[in-house]
């Protein structure tokens, strides 16, 4: 590796901060430890203490020069010291970045990541439920992830020019002849509101005519001087992406203030908030309720307040931007809706139901101010779906309609009831800008799914050691002693494949030198559809040198195979592939003995095996 290493943001602070890692006593010691360990650049505020570290002889000229050389070389390669007209990267327009080719690549990535966890006939049917028939008269799309912009993007994300949700994808796929009904159905989790932009009909500007809020825009981030733009904005729902409102340039510093009144359509307790980046502040009835500054990705704050139907209340929003991704939205949750009843009504009226459930990056992330059932600080305290979503799923299933579960999350979820009852389940993760299109492609058979699980789906958090126990016993597919719900590497297809004729280029390999072995296997598509098969090679050591190690993935091969066609998957294993931990030697070694080479569809579904001897 001839690039440079940058720390995670503010992570070096953890070296010396109280109740953190405890590896350093001072900022200077932390900076020196990071630099000497190979960190060339600090995202944070610890490396300014390198001056003190240098004066105290904690680091040398050579330590500094090594990091500087790496950093400057990268900048030279990028042309940062050259005339921009001579740098090929400087003239790439957004029309290239956001080209049709790249949009199609995003769709391909989303498609290939989707995992078909289960596909069985619905009640009264003979064939697997998926792929769907496009001739449905009506489809209900239900759940908190059906039409959620932010779920598609995960966290620490860029801002695409457009985002497709599952609801968007399904509507575009079926066309005008199929009725698509949507219902939220439930909250993600009890205690967290589901916020929508405040519509203009509930807003009155402090100046000007029409519905909305009165906006004043400044050409600086300090709200100073006279505003350069004044207007009535019908809604505060802005994602400026590649421009700014004052002069249209990327990353311009500007600020804005919106004032007016908000009217309550119902009597009850409202959640009212802002989502944005970089800075926002909210006033209600003349009192500041919150402020927030974000630098990585947009985030939100809200407060709860009791409002009376028909009454209006003064609000003021202050916002400023200093980066390349300005956005701000005024959002709320109106009380009084029976989400479950609306969902059941939609489902009852349709031929089939797509349940879009799961999590979002606003539940699972890092260092979050969240503490509700199943989630604390961005960590998960349970593996199951949140209880409101389980209730929704059971109620919809009880209606007797064909139901597909589209699960969106960044981590594994325990789906025990779903696995026993829901006939078809897709794991769609956080699919990005084309995620909704990709989900629809898979649901309706325009793409044959071939994604594989990169993590184990356990049945319960009780199957695992304590979260604070860092030992690997009974963790991951390599060491897990129990029976997973869905194994690491698991993923189904709309067609079927047979494995046969495993071949090794040699039955023996030397533990010394640069030895290698080639492994091949023939794979035949025995079904009626073309599809991808992801052949996976796992090593299984027969001795007990490391008694905990069950298996280890050492290669995979993705092949596109037509019906009736046979292709050969090949794997090249060098001697380092057979290295493992030696308890006796206290290091990673290639140890003589026999090893089983298993090839199959997942870490628990081996189709063919052969034994190799290491001498």
DSSP state of 414: B
Concerning whether 101 is annotated as a catalytic residue, the answer is no
Contact 563, 528 (CB under 8 A): yes
Q: Name the residue among 49, 114, 37 with its Cα closest to residue 534.
A: 114
Spatial separation of the C-alpha atoms in residues 566 and 458, rounded to whole Å? 34
Neighbours of 82 (CB within 10 A): 11
Is 8 an active-site residue? yes
Among 552, 486, 563, smallest CA distance to 523 is for 563
Cα three-residue angle 475-479-482, rounded to 5 degrees? 80
What does the block give as tokens for 479? 């060491």
SS3 1: coil
Length of the chain in terms of residues written: 615
Three-state SS for 221?
A: coil
92, with CB counted inside 10 A (0-12, 13-18, 19+), is exposed
Residues in CB range of 462: below 8 A, 6 or more apart = none
Torsion angle (degrees, nearest 10) of CA 27, 32, 38, 42: 30
Annotated catalytic residue, options 29, 40, 364, 532: 364
Token digits for 556? 């995979």
Backbone phi and psi for residue 31, each to the nearest 5 degrees, phi listed first = -60, -45
Rounded to an integer, what distance in angstroms lies between the CA atom of residue 211 and that of residue 524? 63
CB atoms within 10 A of CB 94: 12
The catalytically annotated residue of 8, 308, 462, 565 is 8
User: Of 481, 488, 446, 441, which is closest to residue 463 (Cα–Cα)?
Assistant: 481
Q: State the DSSP string of 462-508.
A: GGS--TT----TT-HHHH--S--SB-TT--B-SS-EEEEEEEES-SE
DSSP tally for the chain: helices H, then strands E: 12, 31
Contact in structure between 261 and 312 (CB atoms under 8 Å): yes
For 216, the 3-state DSSP assignment is strand
- Report long-range pairs for 173-178 (Cβ below 8 Å, ≥24 apart): 173/134, 173/440, 173/441, 173/443, 173/444, 173/446, 174/134, 174/136, 174/139, 174/444, 178/134, 178/135, 178/136, 178/137, 178/138, 178/139
Residues serving a catalytic function are 8, 364
């Amino acid at each position: 590796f001839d690039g440079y290493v940058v720390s995670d943001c503010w992570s070096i602070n953890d070296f010396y901060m109280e109740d953190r890692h405890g590896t350093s006593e001072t900022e200077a010691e932390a900076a020196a430890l990071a630099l000497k360990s190979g960190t060339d650049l600090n995202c944070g505020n610890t490396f300014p203490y390198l001056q003190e570290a240098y004066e105290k002889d904690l680091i040398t000229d050579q330590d500094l020069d090594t990091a500087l050389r790496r950093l400057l070389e990268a900048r030279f390669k990028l042309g940062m010291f050259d005339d921009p007209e001579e740098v090929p990267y400087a003239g790439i327009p957004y029309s290239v970045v956001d080209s049709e080719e790249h949009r199609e690549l995003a769709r391909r990535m989303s498609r290939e990541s989707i995992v078909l966890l289960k596909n069985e006939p619905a009640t009264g049917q003979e064939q697997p439920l998926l792929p769907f028939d496009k001739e449905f008269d009506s489809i209900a799309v239900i759940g908190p992830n059906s039409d959620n912009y932010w779920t598609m993007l995960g966290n620490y994300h860029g801002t695409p020019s457009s985002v497709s949700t599952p609801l968007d994808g399904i509507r575009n796929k079926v066309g005008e002849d199929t009725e698509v009904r949507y219902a939220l159905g439930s909250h993600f989790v009890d205690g967290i509101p589901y916020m929508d932009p405040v519509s203009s009909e509930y807003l009155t500007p402090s100046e000007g005519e029409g519905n909305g809020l009165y906006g004043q825009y400044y050409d600086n981030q300090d709200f100073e001087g006279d505003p350069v733009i004044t207007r009535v904005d019908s809604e505060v729902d802005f994602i400026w992406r590649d421009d700014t409102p004052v002069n249209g340039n990327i990353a311009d510093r500007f600020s804005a203030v919106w004032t007016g009144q908000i009217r309550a359509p119902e009597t009850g307790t409202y959640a009212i908030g802002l989502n944005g980046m970089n800075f926002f502040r909210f006033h209600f009835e003349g009192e500041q309720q919150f402020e927030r500054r974000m630098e990585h990705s947009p985030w939100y704050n809200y407060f709860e307040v009791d409002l009376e139907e028909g009454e209006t209340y003064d609000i003021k929003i202050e916002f400023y931007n200093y980066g390349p991704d300005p956005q701000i939205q005024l959002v709320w949750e109106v009380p009084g809706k029976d989400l479950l009843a609306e969902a059941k009504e939609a489902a009852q009226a349709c031929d089939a139901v797509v349940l879009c459930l799961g999590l979002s990056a606003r539940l699972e992330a890092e260092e979050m101010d969240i503490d509700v059932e199943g989630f604390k600080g961005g960590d998960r305290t349970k593996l199951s779906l949140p209880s409101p979503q389980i209730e929704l799923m059971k109620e919809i299933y009880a209606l007797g309609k064909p139901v597909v579960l589209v699960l969106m999350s960044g981590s594994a979820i325990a789906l025990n009831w779903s696995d026993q009852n829901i006939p078809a389940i897709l794991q769609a993760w956080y699919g990005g800008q084309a995620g909704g299109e990709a989900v629809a492609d898979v649901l309706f058979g325009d793409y044959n799914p071939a994604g594989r699980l990169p993590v184990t789906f356990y049945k319960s958090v009780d199957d695992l050691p304590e979260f604070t126990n860092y030992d690997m016993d009974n963790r991951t597919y390599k060491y897990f002693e129990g029976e997973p719900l869905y194994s690491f590497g698991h993923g189904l297809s709309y067609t079927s494949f047979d494995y046969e004729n495993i071949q090794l280029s040699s039955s023996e390999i030397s533990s010394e030198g640069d030895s290698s072995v080639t492994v091949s296997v023939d794979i035949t598509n025995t079904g009626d559809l073309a599809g991808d098969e992801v052949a996976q090679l796992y090593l299984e050591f027969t001795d007990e040198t490391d008694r905990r190690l069950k298996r280890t993935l050492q290669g995979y091969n993705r092949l596109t195979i037509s019906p009736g066609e046979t292709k050969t998957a090949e794997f090249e294993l060098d001697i380092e592939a057979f290295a493992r931990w030696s308890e006796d030697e206290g290091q990673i070694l290639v140890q003589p003995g026999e090893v089983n080479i298993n090839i199959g569809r997942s870490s628990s579904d081996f189709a063919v095996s052969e034994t190799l001897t290491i001498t």
